[in-house]
């Protein structure tokens, strides 16, 4: 795994925590923020809930989509922060969901760092060892 400088990781984590403050989470009251590094820039996102739960969008995806809309289709690193999770929360509850892992796989390499606040840093390959890929037909 290509390790990023600690200062860059700190910037990503701080941006993810700040983004969580912008989350729209009136139903779960579980605000999540994410920050992705793409093209040397940090793009943030937060979870946005909907009364029809299936329409809710996660923080990681909103951050990735921000980067893509700015013209960056290669994500270099990701940080995720669940600011409302109490201390001692099961680490599994702080991880990116499967849909977010798949979106990250679409726009990054398997070896990117995924920094999960209060857990540790993973590679995307550790989190999603066999992503879905469409073959060119």
Catalytic residues: 60
Please provide residue 57's backbone torsions phi and psi, each rounded to the nearest 5 degrees.
-120, 135
Contacts of 105 (CB under 8 A, 6+ apart): 124, 128, 131, 132, 133
Burial class (CB in 10 A: 0-12, 13-18, 19+), 137: exposed
Q: 58 by DSSP, 3-state: which?
A: coil
At 38, is the secondary structure helix, strand, or coil?
strand
Residues 29, 39: contact at Cβ < 8 Å?
Answer: no
**Residue tagged 């139903």 (tokens):** 27
């Amino acid at each position: 795994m290509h390790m990023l400088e600690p200062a860059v990781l700190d910037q990503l984590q701080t941006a993810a925590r700040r983004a969580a403050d912008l989350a729209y989470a009136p139903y779960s009251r579980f605000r999540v923020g994410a920050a992705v590094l793409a093209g040397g820039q940090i793009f943030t996102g937060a979870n946005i809930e909907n009364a029809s739960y299936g329409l809710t969008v996660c923080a990681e995806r909103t951050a990735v989509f921000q980067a893509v809309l700015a013209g960056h289709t290669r994500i270099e690193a990701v940080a995720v922060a669940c600011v409302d999770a109490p201390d001692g929360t099961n680490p599994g509850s702080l991880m990116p969901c499967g849909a977010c892992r798949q979106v990250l796989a679409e726009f990054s390499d398997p070896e990117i760092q995924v920094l999960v606040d209060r857990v540790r840093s993973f590679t995307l390959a550790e989190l999603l060892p066999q992503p879905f890929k469409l073959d060119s037909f």
